[in-house]
Copies of this chain bind each other. A is one copy, B any other.
Amino acid sequence: MDFTPSERAAELTEAVRAFIRDEIEPLESRLPRPDGDGRWHVPEEVRELRRKARDQGLWNLFLPAGHEGQYAARYGTRGGAGLSNAEYAPVAEATGWSFLAPYVFNCNAPDTGNAEVLLKYGSPEQRDRWLDPLLDGAIRSAFAMTEPGVASSDATNMRLTAVVDGDEVVLDGRKWWTTGVGHPDCRLLIVMGLTDPGAHRYSRHSMVLVPLDTPGVRVERMLDTMGFFDEPFGHGEVSFTNVRVPLSNVIAGPGRAFEIAQGRLGPGRVHHAMRLVGLAERALHLACERGLSRTAFGKPLADLGGNRERIADARIAINSLRLLIMHAAWKLDTEGPLASMSEVSQIKVAAPNVAQQVIDFAMQIHGGAGLSSDFPLAHAWTAARAIRLADGPDEVHRGVIARIELAQHGATR
């Protein structure tokens, strides 16, 4: 159980930290606040930072070990650094410091997860057409799973149909919380749909590559999460009306959506969770700064009431969380996703809850400023809250953890 990063990983983490400190943080506050519900653009300064990051080799670092050679050959520095999950974890934490960072380093969800799906399950043709431009940063993609009409926490509820019709697949239905669909560069949707209602519960659904401009695909509206539209990515509600794509667009063949989704989620949850650690660290950093620099009732805020206790609790919670995630990453690396199901669900539950609590304290010590967009706290807080639902609500993950725990005592479900 060795969490020490390799020398290469340590260097990359440091480089990412420096880049964020020197290049991204100064830009953060200069960017205009996005203007709400609509089509968005990517500010030229951000595109410039992406080029710079890529030039420095800080690009696609999420790409899992084992593929670096292949992509190094094709893309030079674009090919990732061959980091294990445990090695990438501190890089992910570093990128959590700023909301801009993951995109700047081409390491943002859902493109990372989509890229991994294509890498592991995609056919050579699928990889040529979609994976290359994704890794290249030329296009963005979205992931369409949740549906407005059913409780999607039980993914088998999904009822958008993806029916095989000769050498085509026909999609009909509606998705929402399709993250990334608002991005001006979005070209691809990965859509989960019901193919064979008579098959086994976990073999009914397929994962289909749907170009965004396919006839019948319509972004009905963009959704806000607590007032924030998360521009320029956004979360869309998308309707599919008699949408036809070639059968070869089905990833790994019909009926394998759940199998693919499961493999997609382990590393992605480590990324998410470590980014939340970075976010919580920033919140605590801001809380300490504010707590020492502002004065009320004759004392620095940090010395009033229970504030020091809350700083201590935040430190305990963050450190515990980081170690829990490092351990899950290490287990994913050494024993694989199946053996790590409980650990991955544990971090899925723990990370947003810890982050939300730390950020809440940071907001409180900032007073009104903490509620506004002058600081990244309000957005961070709502983001952490939203992740308690995204990729499966807390309750579902607690169920997984308990099932595995009880199985050790003989329970059969």
Q: A: which residues have CB within 8 A of B?
A: 1-4, 33, 35-37, 146, 148, 150-154, 157, 176-177, 223-228, 284-285, 288-289, 291-292, 294-297, 300-302, 304-313, 315-316, 319-321, 323-324, 326-327, 342-343, 345-346, 349-350, 360, 363-364, 367-374, 378-379, 381-382, 385-386, 388-390, 393-395, 397-403, 405-406, 408-411
Task: Give Cα A176–Cα B285 distance, bound, in whole angstroms.
Answer: 24
Tell which of A150, A313, A371, A373 has the most Cβ of chain B within 10 Å: A371
**Residue numbers in B under 8 Å from A304 (CB-CB):** 395
Say whether, besides A369-B148, A370-B389, A308 and B398 are in contact (CB < 8 Å). Answer: yes
On whether the beta carbons of A296 and B153 are closer than 8 Å, the reply is yes
On whether the beta carbons of B311 and A405 are closer than 8 Å, the reply is yes
On whether the beta carbons of B401 and A386 are closer than 8 Å, the reply is no
On whether the beta carbons of A305 and B410 are closer than 8 Å, the reply is no
On whether the beta carbons of A226 and B311 are closer than 8 Å, the reply is no
**Residue numbers in B under 8 Å from A285 (CB-CB):** 409
Whose C-beta in chain B lies nearest to the C-beta of A369? B148
**Residue numbers in B under 8 Å from A386 (CB-CB):** 371
Whose C-beta in chain B lies nearest to the C-beta of A327? B323
On whether the beta carbons of A371 and B395 are closer than 8 Å, the reply is no
* A408 interface neighbour in B288, B302, B319, B408, Cβ under 8 Å: B288
**Residue numbers in B under 8 Å from A402 (CB-CB):** 302, 308-309, 311-312, 315
Whose C-beta in chain B lies nearest to the C-beta of A177? B368
On whether the beta carbons of B409 and A292 are closer than 8 Å, the reply is yes
On whether the beta carbons of A378 and B227 are closer than 8 Å, the reply is yes
A270 CB, min distance to chain B CBs, angstroms: 15
On whether the beta carbons of B223 and A372 are closer than 8 Å, the reply is yes
**Residue numbers in B under 8 Å from A284 (CB-CB):** 405
